[in-house]
Structure formats: structure tokens, C-alpha cells
């Protein structure tokens, strides 16, 4: 479903601040895969996700989604088949607009926006149906401003908006990291349910090893712009956080302790 | 203040409210501080005056003025989005360029429309009807302007609730989100800034026809007046819904012109406030309006503190 070929991203190329953020990464993601990506700060996880989403073009390499080379497509052009949820709950929704207006913007994703009313009786029914899946009572608050909602509610809303038009790919960039533990669990439960219901191909970045092991069917570890560990199937299912830490140490024997310490090991 | 002066201020407030709606569209909806208006207001007036002196029907002149204003807005948006010039600076560049362009269009700094047929001359029978009701004829202008404003407000409110309008509003509030939802923000910014300056130019065109002249310097300070109207409207009517926000802008514009008319009556000792003082008064008014929420917030905080002390 997603094929990354030799993907490379260099920031501030040619200056003293030159930073090789993603270094010749090639990954093949199968349809229906749920991949979790872990790694320390600056490992290139978010850059990788942004390259898939088209936030910026790669220096070298290709992004192929569902057989189509999308490398030259801009972010808004790729949005047709990509759903995204960001770390910051404020980022995925417009706070000054109502729930139904936000939904309406997501509903028109991938097609030309017209001069028809954004919200009508028919679309309201769709929104209500989707919102009732959350069990947060938001279906009765369609005309409330999103700015009035809590971080967890906003993040759940973003999730629904990202998956409203059944995208080919769902990208989650540490989308529970800014939430309190209880809300993080709730949002993660909702995420799992949505992914299962629509059988979405998903790439999820997380800082949390426990979360990375508890979700998905394949795990990728990144370090300094490269994929250093890639595991799936029964081997992955058997792994514990300690195994992961072991692996991390083995693969990067020279690794400084502080890099290891920056990875959270506790459960959410 | 005479009834005539009040009516004059109201009709000015109404015709300027079209400009203020344009300012609302850029500053508030798109979060794009656009100073192009200081150039596109006289641009609308210039196009209007030149075409009328060339014998064009004064109604047909209006869409031409709107198109010219939209083009000016497009230039600003292009400089900002495609050439990546800071939006405020991009608009200042267009504004400065428009000064020369307006002079080129008019060929001279000032065009008089006295003895030329304007849209108001086409409502002679309406004027006669008003007079037959015992109402002074100068009341006709604010009534006509009000009709135009009502139509523009309804269309604008409708537009901001369409799929395209929602994308435009979200662009100003959260460009990251709107891009992730497949919206080309360059397009929405161009559309919004063009529409805004189209409204501003229409305002300038109507103003010139009402005043009977176009002047290359008539745009100076337009943006400040527009901002003042937007802020007064927000303070009085609120901004919770688009309907209220645009209504507030129109009422804010009228109140602003009335306030200025009153200020012109003020005489402190031997100091008589003159029209040349208006820019200063406007600037002070905007500073006051902008700091009002902060001041109010402080007062509220103080009240809160006292309650705490009591407990």
C-alpha cells in the first residue's frame, strides 16, 4: 500500500546546520498493516511521516501509495488518500468553527469544494452517526464550537475527520502523547476500533515502547534517520519492552545512555 | 448636529461598511493583515470616475471597479503565497504600487463627477416619491446604500457557510489542518484577499459617485477606519457567528462615522477640531478599542481578587 524507496531528507542543505533527518529509508507497507514506529528524539520519525504526507519533498527517493508515485504531489493533493492526526490536539481541528463545520471540511476532502451549503440535513446525519461511535456524547453538540472541547475530545474528533472518507493510509504522529494517561487510553481504544472497523493501513509514531508493542502487527525502530530494527509476526508478538531495549543496545552498541533514557518505557 | 449631518454620517458609514466587510474578511476570517485597501479603495473610485467621464453607464462601472479591486487583491495574495513575501509587506508593496497606477488610470490627481450622471440620478422617481411623503430628498442615499449593504451581507454570510467558505474560514484559523484536509491554502488565500479588495473597490466606487469626485489621496487611512469598524462591531455585537460578526462590522462602521461627526463639533477653548485631525482621532480610537479587552480583563481580575480576599 505504501512503498518508500531510498527516501532521504536533508534539512538546511549546504549550511553548517545541515541535518540528515531521514537517510535512505526503504519500507514496504502492506494493505491493512498497522505499523508502529519508535525511536529517540531526532531519529527522523516525524520527518518520515511528513514525507509520506507530502509536507515537504524528499531530496532523494520515491513515495508510492497504492501503486501511484505521489512524490511530486503536494500535501493538499495527497490529502485525498491520506488521513492524519497530529500530536497537538489543537492542530487537527479549527477551534473557532463548530463540530459540524469541521466535519464538513473533512467530508469534502478529495473533491472540489463547491458553493453548496457545507452543512445540511444529510451530512448532519452522517456526522451524528460517526460521532455516536465515540460514546462521548458529541453527537448532540454538533453546533458547539470545537474550541470548547477538551484535548481528548478534539483528538477523537480529528481521528473521525481523518478517517471519514476511508483514506488509503492513516498517519498518526504521537497522537496520544499530549493527553493525560486516562484520555490517552481512551483515544487509543477509539483509534484501534476505527482502524479495525475500516481495516485501515496505518503508520503510528509513538514514544512509548509499551504502546508500540501493544498495537499493530509490525514494529520499526529508527535511529539517526535510519531504520535499525524491523520486526513483525510472532517474533514481534513475543517481544517485551526489555527485549526492545536489549535490541536497541545491541544494534547500537556505542549508543549513549542518554539516548536510551529519552525513550519512555512505562505504560501509558 | 443637524438631521442632514446625521444622515450624511450614516450614509458614509454604510458605504464604508462595504470596505470594512472587506477588512473583516482579510484581518479576521483569513488572519491576513492586508493594507492593500488603502490603494484599492481609491482604485475603485478611479475606475468608476474615469469610466463615467467616458460615458459608461454608472451601474456597469461598478462590476468594473470590483474586478479592478479583485485584481489588486490577487497581486497581494500572489506576492505573499507564491513569492513568499510576508503578507503585511506584500500588501504594502501593492498599496504603494497602486498609488502610481491610480494616477495613471485617472491621468490627474482629481476627477470631478459634477454634472455627470451617477447611479443616484437613476433613482429620480424614488427621490420624488420620498419627497412626496414629506421626507427630505437627501434621505434617499442612505436608503439606497442600506439596500446594497443588506444584499452584500446576505451573500457574504451565505458564502462563508458554503464548502468553499468553510475552507476559507479554516485557512485563517488553522492552515495546517486545512491542508491536511486537502485544501490548497494558496487558493483560499487568493480567493479571500481578492474578494476582500473587490468589496473595498466597490465601496470606493460608490463613495466617489456619491461624493461627486475621485481623488488619488482619498485612500489614506482607509485600513484604520476599516479596523476601527471591525473592532467596534466586535465589542458591541460580538463575533460568535458569521451573521453577528458581519452585522457588527456594518453597525461598527456607522457608529464610527457618527462618532467622527460628533467629534467634529467639539470645541475645546479656542481649539476647534477640524477634518484634518480625523486621522489622529481615528488612530487614538483604534488604540483605545484594541486595548479595551486588556483593560476590561484587568478590571475583571481585580474584582475576582477582591472576592477571594473576602473569603
Q: Whole-angstrom Cα distance, residue A214 to residue A208?
A: 10
Tens of pLDDT, residue by residue over A43-77, are 899 999 999 999 999 999 999 999 999 999 999 99
State the helix-helix crossing angle for B37-53 and B61-81, rounded to 10 degrees: 150
Alpha carbon of residue B97 to chain centroid: 20
Classify domain A1-74+209-268 at the CATH superfamily level.
Answer: P-loop containing nucleotide triphosphate hydrolases (3.40.50.300)
User: What's the pLDDT score for residue A129?
Assistant: 92
Tens of pLDDT, residue by residue over B254-263, are 999 998 888 8
Q: What is the least distance, in Å, from the CA of B103 to any CA of chain A?
A: 37
DSSP one-letter code for B29: I
Mutate: best of B31, B162, B180, B241, partner A, most A CBs <10 A: B180
Contacts of residue B169 in chain A, CB cutoff 8 Å? 94, 96-97, 101
User: What's the pLDDT score for residue A246?
Assistant: 84
Q: Are the C-beta atoms of residues B148 and B84 closer than 8 Å to each other?
A: no
Domain boundaries, chain A: 1-74+209-268
Give residues with Cβ within 8 angstroms of A116, minimum separation 6: B162, B163
Reported as a pLDDT band with limits 50, 70 and 90, residue A176 is: very high
Reported as a pLDDT band with limits 50, 70 and 90, residue A192 is: very high
pLDDT mean over B224-253: 91
pLDDT mean over A130-138: 88
Q: What is the DSSP string of B47-62?
A: HHHHHHHTT--TTTHH
Task: Check whether A18 has a pLDDT greater than 80.
Answer: yes
User: What's the pLDDT score for residue B270?
Assistant: 83
Contacts of residue B178 in chain A, CB cutoff 8 Å? 94, 105
Q: Which B positions 135-174 lie with beta carbon below 8 A of chain A? A: 159, 161-167, 169-170, 173-174
What domains can you pick out in chain B, each with its CATH number? 3-275 (1.10.3470)
Q: Are the C-beta atoms of residues A93 and A102 closer than 8 Å to each other?
A: yes
Tens of pLDDT, residue by residue over B45-59, are 999 999 999 999 999
Q: What is the least distance, in Å, from the CA of A33 to any CA of chain B?
A: 22
User: What's the pLDDT score for residue A134?
Assistant: 85
Give residues with Cβ within 8 angstroms of B158, minimum separation 6: B165
Reported as a pLDDT band with limits 50, 70 and 90, residue A264 is: low
pLDDT mean over A156-169: 93
Amino acid at each position: 500500500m505504501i512503498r518508500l524507496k531510498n527516501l532521504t531528507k536533508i534539512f538546511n542543505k549546504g549550511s553548517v546546520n545541515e541535518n540528515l533527518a531521514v537517510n535512505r529509508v526503504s519500507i514496504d507497507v502492506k494493505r491493512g498493516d498497522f505499523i508502529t514506529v519508535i525511536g529517540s528524539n531526532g531519529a527522523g520519525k516525524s520527518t518520515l511521516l511528513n514525507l509520506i504526507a507530502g509536507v515537504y519533498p524528499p531530496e532523494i527517493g520515491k513515495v508510492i501509495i497504492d501503486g501511484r508515485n505521489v512524490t511530486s504531489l503536494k500535501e493538499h493533493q495527497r490529502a485525498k488518500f491520506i488521513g492524519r492526526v497530529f500530536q497537538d490536539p489543537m492542530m487537527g481541528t479549527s477551534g473557532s468553527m463548530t463540530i459540524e463545520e469541521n466535519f464538513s471540511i473533512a467530508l469534502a476532502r478529495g473533491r472540489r469544494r463547491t458553493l453548496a451549503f457545507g452543512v445540511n440535513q444529510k451530512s448532519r446525519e452522517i456526522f451524528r452517526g460517526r460521532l455516536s461511535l465515540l460514546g462521548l456524547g458529541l453527537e448532540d453538540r454538533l453546533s458547539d464550537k470545537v474550541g470548547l472541547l477538551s484535548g481528548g475530545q478534539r483528538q477523537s474528533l480529528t481521528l473521525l475527520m481523518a478517517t471519514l472518507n476511508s483514506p488509503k493510509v492513516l498517519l498518526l504522529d504521537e497522537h496520544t502523547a499530549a493527553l493525560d494517561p486516562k484520555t490517552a487510553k481512551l483515544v487509543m481504544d477509539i483509534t484501534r476500533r476505527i482502524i479495525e472497523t475500516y481495516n485501515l493501513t496505518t503508520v503510528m509514531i509513538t514514544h512509548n515502547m509499551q504502546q508500540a508493542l501493544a498495537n499493530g502487527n509490525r514494529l520499526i525502530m529508527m535511529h539517526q534517520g535510519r531504520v535499525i530494527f524491523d520486526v513483525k509476526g510472532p517474533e514481534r508478538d513475543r517481544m517485551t519492552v526489555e527485549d526492545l531495549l536489549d535490541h536497541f543496545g545491541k544494534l547500537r552498541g556505542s549508543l549513549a545512555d542518554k539516548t536510551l533514557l529519552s525513550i519512555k518505557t512505562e505504560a501509558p | 448636529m443637524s438631521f442632514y449631518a446625521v444622515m450624511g454620517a450614516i450614509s458614509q458609514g454604510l458605504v464604508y461598511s462595504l470596505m470594512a466587510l472587506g477588512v473583516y474578511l482579510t484581518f479576521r476570517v483569513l488572519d491576513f493583515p492586508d493594507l492593500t485597501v488603502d490603494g484599492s479603495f481609491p482604485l475603485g473610485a478611479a475606475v468608476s470616475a474615469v469610466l463615467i467621464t467616458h460615458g459608461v453607464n454608472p451601474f456597469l462601472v461598478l462590476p468594473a471597479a470590483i474586478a479592478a479591486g479583485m485584481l489588486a487583491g490577487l497581486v497581494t495574495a500572489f506576492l505573499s503565497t507564491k513569492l513568499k513575501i510576508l503578507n503585511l509587506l506584500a500588501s504594502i508593496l501593492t498599496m504603494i504600487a497602486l498609488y502610481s497606477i491610480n494616477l495613471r488610470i485617472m491621468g490627474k490627481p482629481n476627477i470631478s463627477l459634477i454634472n455627470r450622471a451617477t447611479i443616484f440620478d437613476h433613482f429620480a422617481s424614488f427621490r420624488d416619491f420620498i419627497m412626496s411623503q414629506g421626507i427630505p430628498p437627501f434621505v434617499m442615499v442612505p436608503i439606497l446604500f442600506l439596500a446594497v449593504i443588506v444584499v452584500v451581507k446576505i451573500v457574504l454570510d451565505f458564502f462563508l457557510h458554503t464548502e468553499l467558505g468553510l475552507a476559507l474560514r479554516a485557512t485563517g484559523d488553522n492552515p495546517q489542518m486545512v491542508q491536511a484536509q486537502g485544501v490548497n491554502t494558496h487558493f483560499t488565500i487568493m480567493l479571500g484577499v481578492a474578494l476582500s479588495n473587490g468589496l473595498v473597490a466597490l465601496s470606493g466606487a460608490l463613495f466617489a459617485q456619491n461624493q461627486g469626485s475621485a481623488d488619488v489621496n482619498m485612500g489614506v487611512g482607509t485600513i484604520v477606519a476599516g479596523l476601527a469598524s471591525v473592532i467596534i462591531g466586535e465589542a458591541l455585537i460580538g463575533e460568535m457567528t458569521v451573521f453577528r460578526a458581519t452585522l457588527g462590522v456594518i453597525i461598527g462602521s456607522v457608529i464610527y462615522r457618527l462618532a467622527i461627526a460628533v467629534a467634529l463639533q467639539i470645541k475645546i477653548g479656542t481649539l476647534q477640531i477640524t477634518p484634518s485631525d480625523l486621522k489622529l482621532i481615528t488612530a487614538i480610537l483604534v488604540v483605545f478599542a484594541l486595548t479595551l479587552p486588556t483593560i476590561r480583563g484587568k478590571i475583571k481580575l481585580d474584582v475576582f481578587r477582591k472576592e477571594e480576599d473576602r473569603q
